[in-house]
Structure formats: structure tokens, C-alpha cells
Amino acid sequence: MAQTTPENPGEIQFSRVKVLEGHTNSVWSVGIKDNLIISGSYDKTIKIWDIGSGKCIKTLKGHKKYIMSVVIKDNLIISGSGDNTIKIWDIESGKCIKTLEGHTDYVWSVAIKDNLIISGSEDKTIKIWDIDTGLCIKTLEGHANWINSVAIKDNIIISGSVDKTIKIWDIDSGLRIKTLEGHTLPVKSIAIKDNLIISGSSDKTIKIWDIYSGECIKTLEGHKDWVWSVAIKDNLIISGSYDKTIKIWDINTCACLKTLDGHTECVTSVAIKDNLIISGSADKTIRIHPITLLPNESVKFQQVINSYWLPGYLDQHLMDCFNPDND
């Protein structure tokens, strides 16, 4: 067997794929935590699934329109909907604890960190909410079109928009720090890990960005249609596309390690945790793909970080890079 290095991460092996059925319309968003999968659908419901059995444990109802985005944290599920609201749900009881109102159009994306919820909407704004009070703390404006995706890391928010740009925002001040340009069509999805931003776009590409300089480091090409969703774990990027496939990429080499078929309609959402890739599709199903990276599962994401930033770079240039732009 060939030696495994960061440039040769080894073969990806797959166990039997499990298909979860129960939604009556497109699955728009999936999340994973411990032994649970959360899915949000165009059928206006959220479902909680047991990974081991593949059975639906609970169905949450309350939104009046499509579920566009779901995230899970501790014992809470956060959902964004086409009814312009965000709902906070208790996993154990399945009950809606709070409904957050303030957006004037579809809520396409939600993210959560500590006691903050971040939402991106078709009304072209990003809102920051206090999870305890349900109050909107700040509204961020600057995108020229609606927000498809939001992510949060430390004290910054990342947003991807139909205006083809990615923006980086400071949570405390609400100021826009940087605007990243390079995609030629709408940005559909954002993921963030350490000092890198991963974006998927309707231009069929995935881009890897330096969060501090705002430069595009690499562009991954291979999908035949829109890249609808991206996720990242260690040195692997997972992408789901309108071409009905899921691709697994090595972040160091930009090589596509594997293409997964099986969905009969576009793949709208992907998530990864441990050795599981979860995908949701317009074919109304969720698929669980167990993976094993052989022979070396210890290739760490930090290797790519080290290859891009020299020692001391961040300390010397952090303040210079994080000056609010005036675009």
C-alpha cells in the first residue's frame, strides 16, 4: 500500500448507504449531532431521525411555509423559513419555544454560536438575535441581493449572497470588514474552518478563501451544475450539487477523491460528522454515507493552514487585514 501523505490522503471506502424516507417534498437542509439527524423540508416540517435505526423520532410542525435552513445545538433546533420567521425548538419535547420575527422575506439561512442566532434573508439583511430573549440585537446591511448562506466563527459573521459576493462582518460593531469577489454567479453556500472560508456557487465551482487577506487561494472544478451546499471536516471538503452528486475533495491537492451518486434529484444540503456524510435532496430523501479514510485518518486540517501562513504572519497583519472596507 502506498504511503499516505498530505498529498496522498489514502483511499476513501464506503459502507452501505442508508436512505431515510418520510418527507413529502424536497429536503432543503440537514444537520447532525451525536446520534441524531435533523432535516428541514419544503413540506413545512422538521424531522428528527435516529442515525442507527434510520427511523423518524419526531416531526415538528409550526412553520407556515417551506423550511429553508436548520441547525442544531445542544438541546435546541433553530429553523429558518419561507414564512419570514425563525423558530427555536426543544428537541426533547418537539415544542416551539420561541418565534423570532423581524425579517420581511424568506429566511434562507441560520447559524448559531453560544447565545447568538444569525439569520440571512431574501430581504437582503443579516440579523443577530439573542437566543434567550428572542430580540434582534443588530441588523447588518450591505448586500445588493438576498443572503443565501451565513456562518459564524468567534466574533465574525460570513455571508454569501445572490449578488455573487461573500462578506465578512464584525459581530460587536456590525461593521463590514471585507468583501470577497470572484464567483461569477450567486454564492449558494458557505462553510468556515479555522482560517479558511469555503464557498459553493451557481457558477459550478467551490472556492477556498484566506479569511484574513480575502484572497481566493484555490478554485475546485468538477461539478456539472450549481454547487448548492458545502461542508468541511479536517482536510476534506464535501459538496452537494444540482447535478445530483456529492463530491469529496482533498483540500491540499484540490483533487476530487470520490463522487457519490444515488440521489435522483439535486442535492440541496450536505453535512459531515466523524465518519458520516449526510445529504438531503429534492428527491425527498436523506442519505447517510458512512466513510472510512484509509490508511491515515490523522491527516489534520492544520497542515493546509501551515502551508499558507508563515509563522508570525497573523500576529503582524491581523489588524491591517481587519480594517472595515467602504464598498
More confident residue, 164 or 313: 164
Residue 87 has pLDDT above 70, yes or no: yes
Residue 302, pLDDT score? 35
Distance spanning both ends of the chain, measured CA to CA: 52
pTM: 0.84
More confident residue, 224 or 320: 224
The total number of structural domains in the chain stands at 1
CATH, residue 77? 2.130.10.10
Is 4 part of any domain?
no
* 7-61: pLDDT as tens digits: 344 555 556 889 999 999 999 999 999 999 999 999 999 999 999 999 999 999 9
Domain range for 40: 10-321
Is 50 part of any domain?
yes
Q: How far is CA 255 from CA 1, 4, 243, 289, in A?
A: 20, 15, 18, 20
More confident residue, 97 or 313: 97
Is 5 part of any domain?
no
Q: How confident is the model at residue 2 (pLDDT cuts 50, 70, 90)?
A: very low
- Look up residue 178 and give its three cell numbers: 471585507
- Look up residue 116 and give its three cell numbers: 447568538
Element (H, E) at 318: helix 313-321
Element (H, E) at 308: helix 302-308
Is 2 part of any domain?
no
Is 1 part of any domain?
no
* 209-236: pLDDT as tens digits: 999 999 999 999 999 999 999 999 999 9
* 133-160: pLDDT as tens digits: 999 999 999 999 999 999 999 999 999 9
Is 108 part of any domain?
yes
